[in-house]
């Protein structure tokens, strides 16, 4: 009966949440980063072409904001190189 006290309860209770995170959430986050990263690269290329044609309208700003928001888990992990915006 004393061995049941040594059974680690916390990892057993947290196991479904850990599995859900690594099977569902983390891969979706990686896909979102890949899609937004590809869009950002294309937008920066379009911006470079527009700058070469002397057009001032840039399109990569909002895409960059969306990429960095997704990269920081929706603002949960704020980037240290940017000042905090409250």
pLDDT tens across 10-34, in order?
A: 888 889 999 999 999 999 999 999 9
Position 60 in a domain: yes
Domain that includes residue 53, residue range: 30-74
Position 53 in a domain: yes
Position 19 in a domain: no
CB 40 within 8 A of CB 69: no
Position 12 in a domain: no
| pLDDT band (50, 70, 90) for residue 77 | confident
Identify the CA nearest to 39 among candidates 22, 6, 31. 31
Total number of domains constituting the chain? 1
Position 2 in a domain: no
Distance CA 18, CA 35 (A): 25
pTM of model > 0.95: no
Residue 59 pLDDT greater than 90, yes or no:
no
């Amino acid at each position: 009966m004393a061995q049941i006290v040594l059974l680690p309860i916390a990892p057993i209770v947290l196991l479904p949440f850990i599995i859900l995170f690594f099977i569902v959430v983390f891969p979706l986050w990686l896909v979102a980063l890949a899609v937004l990263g590809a869009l950002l690269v294309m937008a920066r290329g379009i911006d470079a072409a527009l700058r070469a044609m002397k057009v001032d309208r840039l399109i990569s700003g909002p895409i960059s904001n969306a990429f960095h928001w997704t990269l920081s888990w929706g603002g949960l992990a704020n980037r240290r190189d940017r000042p905090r915006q409250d």
